[in-house]
Structure 1
């Protein structure tokens, strides 16, 4: 499995996020509505979208885990690229935190907003698979998003207080398990989104 995971990282990212993050959303629905699935929820559509988003997350993790240590070396920290892939130590913790902060500050807000848009689109299409081939009315959905919750809870609270530390742990792990751990965090994301949905 390790060699398949290494050879087919994007395929595995699709599968891991497609399954685990969707399960997280089902758990979130259970918390907010008392059921794991219901008419119009669109489990299959969500799984496909999460699979695609998972590939984007994998790409972001590669870009930031390679790029941030390079930037830290540029700024004067010696051997950051080697340290992040070495044994656990205080310097590795510092680099992992820097990678997490960079990724979650630059990438996460765009990702979270796009996820909210796709989620809304699936619901607007009644949860059917046609949501995957129907053009997304971006301007209309963006205009009607609950930006108060998106900013004051999703961005201001979940990013610094959950995602910064959670992904610091992620980047302390070996390369081959980072995406799996991030996908498991999708379960936590489902719970957080359920809490956000209940905040009116």
Structure 2
């Protein structure tokens, strides 16, 4: 792994991110506008948010591991499309688990609602996060690994998006010590369950904003784990 030191590319990235944030801050009512578009075009925005933020997270992970934000064969566009579709699944899963998880508590005899106070909201949020991260997240992370490796096998070319995935071969090539020992065993209970507990404590509109930020973190974690695994060979 390269020693991290600031390069011209880092300053360029910082400048672009700062300019985007300044532009957003200068818009009239940016939060209200974001909420409106999220309500009216939620799935389209989820695709775009994860395509941009999670892919940027992978670029950051590449910078940490190899000292650059991009390299030939990285598959920037292919990864962005892949993350966009993952964003669609996450948007749907948030809806499913936010509605279904409180019903689990009801089935256990706990007839509580968010209106019953802070601890009731905390229990509902924690239950939702546990269900999301134990039932859905492992499947999502494994699928991400399969499709990410598929993109790498085809040298990051855009046509990898339409080439059938050899799922059996990609599944067999997964470094399960890394996938289980780091991605699932450590990040799920230590980071994702607490992070999504906080997410589901927020109002629905704010959850979408926070989930978009977590999408970037997810990109960093999964890409870093993948790159770390490849560096071991």
Q: Same fold (TM over 0.5)?
A: yes
Match of 1:59 in 2: 92
1:28 shift after superposition: 0.6
Q: Which among 24, 46, 53 is matched to residue 79 of structure 2?
A: 46
- 169-178 vs 86-95, greater mean Cα deviation: 86-95
Give the CA deviation at 1:177: 2.5
Give structure 2 stretches of 5+ with no counterpart: 1-32
> 2:183 maps to what in 1?
154
Distance 1:123 1:13, change over 3 A: same
How far apart are the structure 1 equivalents of 2:152 and 2:99?
37
Q: For structure 1, which segment, 25-34 or 172-181, has the greater mean C-alpha deviation from structure 2 after superposition?
A: 172-181
Question: Matched residue pairs, number?
Answer: 196
Deviating 4+ runs (over 4 angstroms): none
5+ residue gaps, structure 1: none
The 2-side partners of 1:56 and 1:112 are apart by 12
CA offset at residue 72 of structure 1? Answer: 1.0
Q: Whole-Å Cα distance in 2 between the matches of residues 75 and 148 of structure 1?
A: 35
Question: Equivalents in 2 of 1:175, 1:88: separation in Å?
Answer: 17
| Residue 127 in structure 1 maps to residue 156 in structure 2 | yes
Report how far residue 178 of structure 1 moved. Answer: 1.6
Partner of 1:140: 169
Corresponding residue for 1:170?
Answer: 199
Following superposition, the deviation at residue 116 of structure 1 comes to 0.4
How far apart are the structure 2 equivalents of 1:88 and 1:25? Answer: 39
CA RMSD of aligned residues (A): 1.5
Q: Does 1:198 align with 2:228?
A: yes
Structure with more relative contact order (C-alpha pairs < 8 Å, separation 6 or more): 1
**1:5-154 alignment, distance < 5 Å:** 5-80=38-113, 83=114, 86=115, 89-154=118-183
The 3-state SS of whatever aligns with 1:69 is helix
CA distance in 1, matches of 2:59, 2:117: 35
Check conservation: 2:58, 2:224, Cα contact below 8 A. no
Residue 175 of structure 1, CA deviation: 1.1
Mapped contact 1:24–1:188 kept (Cα < 8 A):
yes
CA contact (8 A) 1:16 1:180 kept: no
* Displacement after TM superposition at 1:65 (Å): 0.6
CA 87–11 in structure 1, closer or farther in 2 if over 3 Å, else same: farther
Q: TM-score, normalised by structure 2?
A: 0.80
Relative to 1, partners in 2 of residues 1:183 and 1:162: Cα closer, same or farther, differing over 3 Å? same
